[in-house]
Amino acid sequence: MASGYWELKKLPPMSAEEFDSWQSLLESRTGMTLSPQRKTFLETSLAMRMREVGCDSYTQYYEHVTSGPNRLVEWAILVDRLTVQETRFYRDPAALELVRDYLLTRPAEQLGSRPFEVWSVGCATGEEPYTLAMVIDDCLRSVGMARYYGITGTDISTPALEKARKALYGERRLADLPETLRDRYLERQPNGQWKVSQTLCERVCFARMNVLELRQAPLHGMNLIYCQNLLIYFRRWRRKDIVSRLVERLRPGGLLVLGLGELTDWAHPELERIPSEKVLAFIKKAH
């Protein structure tokens, strides 16, 4: 496979049939769809990886990914290259404000005496779950409530989760984060990066999970499920399917937050939509 002169050879453009095969593989394994406009992105991403492993045709690499001896490892690497992991701290202030209101306005008995359990679905490199931890910690402090909370961030990309566990971020990812939260929960490192404080890290854990396999997810009775900027890559029927699965994991009275516009004209018999033009969020009805 590998050849010293491979770099000199240019890959021929991907044929329509090849594009269809790759798009079907990606969709069946991750749910993500790739429109024909993203063909160049697919070609470039595959070509980079093919150069690394020394494959010189899309078909040969397809075989390598689907039936080669290292197919599982290869797929894990490739899926990381093909998913969009754009994220940042405090990405959606309106949704975070709603989480804050939810926490501060619920009577304590509705929140229950159990730990406050949060799930960030499609958490990428961790900025979202750490932001949720900051908001929750800040709320609890402001009302002097000593309540245990735990946040689980899940994603399909193993490399993204490795970065999340390191909890080290460059300045750019912090651009939207209010300074008060930044100064309380992040520590500036000598190299200019920012490290999430140990107190927050102890509350947040990460696990690899494919949202197409939610039936196997060991997470139940969540108080808050936060799923933003993941469903947009999926077909509408799949979005509805995934969100219905998430509803099963929410406890009565729990809060579900999606990205605005990610699931329009949709209702669920167990959910009540929170009236807001800025946030797409629902409360699970009590039985």
Ligand X SMILES: C[S@@+](CC[C@H](N)C(=O)[O-])C[C@H]1O[C@@H](n2cnc3c(N)ncnc32)[C@H](O)[C@@H]1O
228 binds ligand X (CB under 6 A): yes
87 binds ligand X (CB under 6 A): yes
Window 141 to 160, contacts with ligand X (CB under 6 A): 155-157, 160
Task: Say how many CA atoms lie within 13 Å of 100 toward its Cβ.
Answer: 16
**3-state secondary structure labels for all residues of 95-129:** HHHHHHHHHHHCCHHHHCCCCEEEEEECCCCCHHH
| Residues counted in the chain | 287
* Shortest Cβ 123–ligand X spacing (Å): 6
230 binds ligand X (CB under 6 A): yes
Window 113 to 132, contacts with ligand X (CB under 6 A): 122-124, 128
* Shortest Cβ 112–ligand X spacing (Å): 26
- Alpha carbon distance 246, 263 (integer Å): 14
Contact 177, 122 (CB under 8 A): no
Residue with tokens 């309380």: 184
* Shortest Cβ 47–ligand X spacing (Å): 21
* Shortest Cβ 60–ligand X spacing (Å): 26
Q: How many CB atoms lie within 10 A of CB 105?
A: 8
Window 11 to 70, contacts with ligand X (CB under 6 A): 30-32
* Shortest Cβ 190–ligand X spacing (Å): 28
Residue with tokens 């063909």: 39
Window 193 to 222, contacts with ligand X (CB under 6 A): 210-212
Task: Name the one range near ligand X by CB under 6 A: 63-71, 85-93, 179-187, 260-268.
Answer: 85-93
